[in-house]
Structure 1
Amino acid sequence: MSSVRILAVEHEHGTGPERFGTWLAEAGAEVEVVRPYRGEDLAESFAGLEGDGVFDALIVLGGSAGPLDDIDNPWFPAVRDLLTRSAAGGFPSLNICLGGELLAAAAGAAISRRTRPQIGVYGLRATSAGERDPVFSALAGAEIPAVLFHQEEMALPTDAALLVTGSDAPVQAFRLGEFAWGTQFHPETDAAQIERWLASDPLRLPEGKTEDSIRAEVAAADAELVETNRRLAHSFVDFLRTRRGTGRSAS
């Protein structure tokens, strides 16, 4: 059986698939990353997602921009248009932080800017809808730790299923249609990436936190972060493999 193939969109340097990509590969997926900020052509890659294209799914990664910052990121309208087609049943997508915000914005949900960002490890939990979801059921059970690093905050799109909640930004994962997923949390992030983001991002820190306390949170939770997010990566690949086995046009 050929590998599941996933296209990932990276919006800026330092925001790649990281270890989530390693877990996808471990589960049997091939991940190809396209980087439009380097001038790489999205149109050809995107053509491989629909119909009998070469990709089984799309992952849209995070970044420091807001989901409507089209002037500095001129490929954003094309990404939002593509995610609209994913939500309509064209192909599966898993969209992380900025990616989740792009999916929410494409569906007309409100995007707001927080007074202070959420940065560090926060306790989240799957909803009853999440426990029944074909991918996010992998997170069912007790509260899970998750890394957040965002200042924009999304509302739940109309007709979306809320899958994961927690913290004072309650929309932490949702699904639109049968297989367009968005997260606010970062399943891919590790301590090294957080260190780079803290060094490069001018965001104000959350109330009561310091850079050292954030580093300590991530380090203390790392083993559980690995176990939890590895399950999610494997669950996504299992879903794609099952969908391929029943026919890519099935939803």
Structure 2
Amino acid sequence: MSSVRILAIEHENGTGPQRFGQWLEEAGADVVVTRPYLGEEIPGELLVRDPQGAERGGTGAFDALIVLGGSAGPSDDADNPWFPQVRDLLRESIRGEFPSLNICLGGEMLALAADAPISRRAHPQIGIYELGATSAGESDPVFGSLAGERMPAVLFHQEEMALPDGAALLITGSDAPVQAYRLGDFAWGTQFHPETDARQIARWLDGNDLALPAGKTEDSIIVEVEAADGELVARGRRLATAFVEFLRSR
């Protein structure tokens, strides 16, 4: 069974790939995390392959890119000077140069790279929300792994993205309807977090100055994430496996 290498970009401490990275590795991927906020470099090019796996160009050593979440907005370049480079990479993914899977802030950066509007919500979404696949999602080679049932998912965001022109809406739900989408053949973005758990959510809540959603407390959010953990694990593992299988099929 062939292995694939995935580059993950972590934007700040405490926002790494977490168990999603473990599930990718269980499925046969080698996940390499780069942390530009610590001065680590982002490769300028990723490996580009044709459908038979032969190299077409590029000097990188990765089959795919994952852009992770964080507290910044997708255009907060002054405090995150590597953001323009990330958006340039995502434009390459949209053009079909390599696959990418982009989570929350990463999904917002993908949308911004495609010139979709990003807005600030009056109230953040934090905790468990019920989502579901669209018909396009059910037939998607990666997000089809989540089709067929309503699913609980973790949201933790105040920025909200519109669906980019030409994108396929894959997962929807809540009053932030763009929860996962695909641009081109294999540039995916999510608003929800498939990687997180109650322990990480507790760290994000600690000292965070976001107003909590109406009727929720920090304790109640942690409890609802803990209660959904079995389903979160099952679906997150399916998504990670589907992504690796897609990369291997190329």
TM category, shorter: over 0.9
Decide whether the 8 Å contact of 1:10 with 1:35 is kept in 2: yes
Q: Distance in 2 between matches of 1:203 and 1:227?
A: 29
Work out whether residues 46 and 98 of structure 2, in 8 Å CA contact, stay in contact via their aligned partners in 1: no
Alignment of 1:126-205 (within 5 A): 126-205=133-212
Q: Distance in 2 between matches of 1:49 and 1:216?
A: 42
The question of 1:220 aligning with 2:227 is answered: yes
**Correspondence 1:41 to 2:48:** no
Determine the C-alpha separation between the residues in 1 that align with 2:243 and 2:74.
24
**Could you tell me how far apart the structure 2 residues matched to 1:8 and 1:46 are?**
14
TM-score by length of 2: 0.95
- Give the number of equivalent residue pairs: 241
Shift of 1:48: 3.3
Q: Distance in 1 between matches of 2:75 and 2:126?
A: 21
SS at match of 1:158: coil
Q: Secondary structure at the match of 1:30?
A: strand
Is 1:23 aligned to 2:23, yes or no?
Answer: yes
So what's the TM-score if we normalise by structure 1? 0.94
Q: Deviations over 1:170-200 (max 9, x none)?
A: 0000000000000000000011100100103
Q: Is residue 240 from structure 1 mapped to residue 247 from structure 2 by the alignment?
A: yes
Structure 1: give runs of 5+ residues left out of the alignment. 244-251
Residues 98 and 184, structure 1, Cα contact 8 Å, conserved in 2: yes
**Contact (CA 8 Å) 2:133, 2:171: kept in 1 or not?**
yes
1:134 alignment partner, SS class: coil
Give the alignment of 1:69-80 within 5 angstroms: 69-80=76-87
TM-superposed deviation, 1:49: 3.5
The answer on whether the counterparts of 2:46 and 2:64 sit within 8 Å (CA) in structure 1 is no
Q: In the aligned structure 2, how far is the partner of 1:167 from the partner of 1:179?
A: 25
Equivalent in the alignment of 1:249: none
SS in 2 for 1:219: helix
Distance 1:63 1:200 in 2: 15
Q: State the shift of 1:54 in Å.
A: 1.4
CA contact (8 A) 1:10 1:33 kept: yes
Return the structure number with greater helix share: 1
Percent identical among aligned pairs is 73
Q: Partners of 2:149 and 2:70 in 1: how far apart?
A: 29
Partner-residue secondary structure (3-state), 2:121: strand
**Matched residue SS, 2:233:** helix
On the 8 A contact 2:102/2:110 being kept in 1, the answer is yes
- Distance, in Å, in 1 between the alignment partners of 2:236 and 2:129 is 14
RMSD: 0.9
Q: How does 1:74-153 map to 2 (within 5 A)?
A: 74-153=81-160
For 1:32, the equivalent position in structure 2 comes to 32
